[in-house]
A = this chain, B = another copy of it.
Amino acid sequence: MTLSNYLKEKAAFTNDELKIISDSFSEVSFEKKSMLLEEGNICRHLFFITSGLVKTYFIDRNGHEVIINFASENWWITDIHSFEENKASRLYIEAMEDTECLVINVQDQYALFDKVPKLERFFRMLLQKHTGALQDRLFEHIAATAEDRYDTFLERYPNLQNRLPQHQIANYIGVSPEFLSRIRKRKVKG
């Protein structure tokens, strides 16, 4: 099972622990274009994606979608603020392909932390990495050009480039689809 393999790669969990963890999650499927989370709702689940692709976004005050990140195989996704504090979410999470997930709710998560304390620390580390990634994206948006951000996107998600329509990439790097088209044209010319 994928979650166990993933955890084995990432940290030193015993087989007992892996079993306890796996048993705490349930499998859920989402069809392409269906929603894992919608704005205004409380995010009830922490998702581990075993196959497929989702995007997280919010709607800005001009009614435009703003993509925060993508997540595919072996990524965790949730609105952590909503999930942990039971607050209405500002975010949407939408399946961009048919997607298989393992999910856990917040109570079961804390019960699991009590059974496998190592996991709480593991999740704290994950959160740290996520925070680092957010900081890097903020840096890019303050200090780098759109072309730089596009290059960074290509390096960071080499496998996503062909799974995503170009205007979604444009949205993620924070430019209009027209301008990304021009960037690409410029790059081909050299």
Contacts and interface: CB of A to CB of B under 8 A. Distances in A.
Contacts of A60: 139, 142-144
Given A137-B138, A142-B174, A143-B66, A80 B120 contact: no
Given A61-B143, A138-B68, A143-B64, A131 B120 contact: no
Interface of A: 58, 60-62, 64, 66, 68, 80-81, 84, 120-121, 123-125, 127-128, 130-132, 134-135, 137-139, 141-144, 174
A138 B141 contact: yes
Nearest to A90: B139
9 contacts: A58-B139, A60-B142, A62-B143, A84-B125, A120-B120, A127-B127, A134-B135, A138-B138, A138-B141
